[in-house]
Structure 1
Amino acid sequence: MDWQWENAVAGSVAGLATVTFSHPLDVVRTRFQVYDGRNPNLPSYKNTPHALFTIGRSEGLRGLYAGFYPAVLGSTISWGLYFYFYNSAKQRYIKNQDKTSASIHLASAAEAGGMVCLLTNPVWVVKTRLQLQTPQHLGRPYSGFNDALITILKDEGWRALYKGLLPGLFLVAHGAIQFTAYEELRKVIIDFRHKQKSSVDKSSDLLTTVDYATLGAASKLVAILATYPIQQRPNTDGVPRYADSRHAMEKTARLEGIKGFYGGITANLLKNLPAASITFIVYENVLNLLKRVRRKD
């Protein structure tokens, strides 16, 4: 079962590398998603560069990396668990088959996403709360991850840590689409390279770092375009604006139109396409390194 833990370790390292690189853009994306032009207590930004500059000038590095600790914790745990569950499920599904298929990739990714979502939702709730703290924030600000977690539990109860779970489970489709696209495109490239090098076994050695980067970005683009509108904006001023996911979608459509469903998508793409490339570059290379070490032993 060593290969399963190798996937978990490689996934955790990839998650750590990715969130370190992309966190400021994630802060911007979160700020854009909650701003609807009607709340005077929320700052407005013209575009992504303006948001980065404004946050950096008014809040400093702390503002750009607001919620960094829970983001690192959540990303490291999430990617480690995701790759572990994904590869475990994939091996289970193909046990009685000669090769994988798109349906197996889809089912494996959906299963892994559901498990990770249930286990890590509290971390993402705390991260979002910390990211949305601005100089205009009403009420006592959280001093950090532990303070936010304890305060939420004390004031709102454990159910508050699972707010957004339903749309989070809907977004399992995002990961399923991304991993299916990644695996299917990966097979195409490997098969093509294998035909060019008939004496070489079909293996990840046929792929390069550039391949991993391209596959990661391409698969992420497909997933983002397919699932981005499925989001529920968090409540930021203590007054619930949305009763549930359906209410959020109806209100967004009525007040903001189609553009409302794609708020912050520029920051999302700028963050997530390079981030996806980094994730798979680090994951695949760390995994290959761990495999080579195991073979030597």
Structure 2
Amino acid sequence: MPDEEKAKWENSIAGAVAGFSTVAVLHPLDVVRTRFQVSDGRGCSCPLYKNTAHAIYSIARTEGLKGLYAGFYTSVFGSTVSWGLYFFFYSRAKDRYVRYSNQPLSPGHHLASAAEAGALVCLITNPIWLVKTRLQLQTPLHPSRPYIGFSDAVKTILKEEGWKALYKGIGPGLLLVSHAAIQFCAYEELRKIAIKLKGRGERTASRDPDRLLNSFDYATLGGASKITAILLTYPYQVIRARIQQRPTSSGMPKYMDSWHVVTETARFEGIRGFYRGITSNLLKNVPAASITFVVYENILKLFKAAQSKKEK
């Protein structure tokens, strides 16, 4: 296998392992975030929670560990696939821009690479995330027969709503491409700054700048880039979660489309409605981004070390 092609697969494997590690540790906060996002106080089948701690306590008390890990396997599958595909497409896009420009990549190139990768991943994985959202929203209050698992959910959705239902929320999902693009662009630029600052007076910096950064650096850079992206794009996540809710027992969806979500949320809840669940989202995703980039960068280092040893 050519070295260039091998590097792309190494990026993909590193991304997949990073995604799995993140979900396994922080899934309960994802359940809480999803329930907050759809809790508009108007006929929602989810209980109303005071805050993140109260939500975790209430779910554990009424639904047990199963409630806190609702949709876990679907989330693991989706995150592993998404991160693996994302890093694969992202590295391919960056390589293409490098070949065409023959110059170091600019922030615009990183932004374009991240946007391209995000759009492709969104189109491939939207059905997985729709099922995950619905599994996380299942509570004893919901009148419909609960989905038993991922495959049962897909079969039931296809039977009751048709294949188009699997792509509900694709519009906000594609808009969320900007989230990943902002995150990766911020990460790459912060990474350059960190290397430059730590590389002053280091003779090895020009030969192998990655050796200057450690796991703490990757965690800090990953967390900082994630905060930036969340603050700028969070309303898209709320819109997507609300439109992906399961229809009522009569078959009527609560929201007809994304614009309906926007108008109803603005009318009844104001700007705060678009930021429901942001606390649990930050608590989950900032550490998640840190874990993801630490795992990703260190796995890449292992691949490079193995390749270097092999060449000797």
Scaled by the length of structure 2, the TM-score of the pair is 0.93
Residues 1:266 and 2:270 aligned together: no
1:103 partner letter: G
Give the match for residue 147 of structure 1.
Answer: 152
Which 5+ residue runs of structure 2 have no aligned equivalent? none
The answer to whether the 8 A contact 2:218-2:290 is kept is yes
User: How far apart, CA to CA, are the structure 1 residues paired with 2:92 and 2:13?
Assistant: 14
- The count of residues paired between Structure 1 and Structure 2 equals 297
Give the match for residue 92 of structure 1.
Answer: 96
User: How far apart, CA to CA, are the structure 2 residues paired with 1:286 and 1:204?
Assistant: 13
User: How far apart, CA to CA, are the structure 1 residues paired with 2:44 and 2:15?
Assistant: 41
Give the match for residue 117 of structure 2.
Answer: 112
Matches within 5 A, 1:133-172: 133-172=138-177
Give the match for residue 289 of structure 2.
Answer: 276
The answer to whether the 8 A contact 2:173-2:236 is kept is no
User: How far apart, CA to CA, are the structure 1 residues paired with 2:204 and 2:23?
Assistant: 39
The answer to whether the 8 A contact 2:32-2:55 is kept is yes
1:225 partner letter: L
User: How far apart, CA to CA, are the structure 2 residues paired with 1:220 and 1:63?
Assistant: 27
User: How far apart, CA to CA, are the structure 2 residues paired with 1:102 and 1:64?
Assistant: 39
Residues 1:31 and 2:35 aligned together: yes
Give the match for residue 12 of structure 1.
Answer: 16
1:206 partner letter: L
Matches within 5 A, 1:1-297: 1-39=5-43, 41-95=45-99, 96-200=101-205, 201-231=207-237, 232=239, 233-234=242-243, 235-238=245-248, 239-297=252-310
1:237 is displaced (CA, Å) by 4.7
The answer to whether the 8 A contact 2:16-2:82 is kept is yes
Scaled by the length of structure 1, the TM-score of the pair is 0.97
2:277 partner letter: G
The answer to whether the 8 A contact 2:247-2:254 is kept is no
Deviation track 1:187-206 (CA, whole Å, cap 9, x = no partner) reads 01112222231343242111
**Most deviating of 31-40 and 215-224:** 31-40
Q: Say which SS state the counterpart of residue 269 (structure 2) adopts.
A: helix
User: How far apart, CA to CA, are the structure 1 residues paired with 2:183 and 2:273?
Assistant: 23
Structure 1 residues 40 and 83, CA gap change in structure 2 (3 angstroms): closer
User: How far apart, CA to CA, are the structure 2 residues paired with 1:140 and 1:199?
Assistant: 62
1:216 partner letter: G
User: How far apart, CA to CA, are the structure 2 residues paired with 1:56 and 1:74?
Assistant: 24
User: How far apart, CA to CA, are the structure 1 residues paired with 2:132 and 2:275?
Assistant: 21
Question: What is the Cα-based RMSD across aligned positions, in Å?
Answer: 1.2
